[in-house]
Amino acid sequence: MRDVLPTIRMLLAPLMRWAARWLRRTFFFAGVMAALMIVLAFTRIPFDLHRWLGMAGVECTGGHIVVLGGSGMPSGPELLRLHHAALLAHEDTSRRITVIHPGTPDVLAEMVDELVVRGVALSRITVLNEGENTREQAMVFWRRDPPPHAPVILVTAPENMFRSVKTFQLLSRGPGQVCGASAWDHAMDHDFAYRHKAIGGKPWVPDVSDDPSLRYTFWNYLKLEITCLREFAAIAYYTLNGWI
CA distance 111 to 153: 18
163, part of any domain: yes
17, part of any domain: no
226 half-sphere exposure, CB direction, 13 A CA radius: 7
What is the reported pTM? 0.85
196, part of any domain: no
Write the pLDDT tens digit of every residue in 87-109: 999 998 888 999 999 988 899 99
Instruction: Output 191 or 130, whichever has higher pLDDT.
Output: 130
Domain that holds residue 127: 55-180
Please, are residues 47 and 224 in contact by the beta-carbon 8 Å criterion? yes
Q: How many CB atoms lie within 10 A of CB 205?
A: 8
Confidence bin at 124 (pLDDT 50/70/90): very high
Write the pLDDT tens digit of every residue in 175-223: 568 889 999 988 777 778 888 787 888 888 888 778 778 878 899 999 9
Vertex 74 angle, CA 82 and 117, to 5°: 50
- Span of 69-73, 90-94, 112-116, 158-162 with lowest mean pLDDT: 69-73
Residue 99's domain is classified under what CATH number?
A: 3.40.50.620
pLDDT at 36: 92
12, part of any domain: no
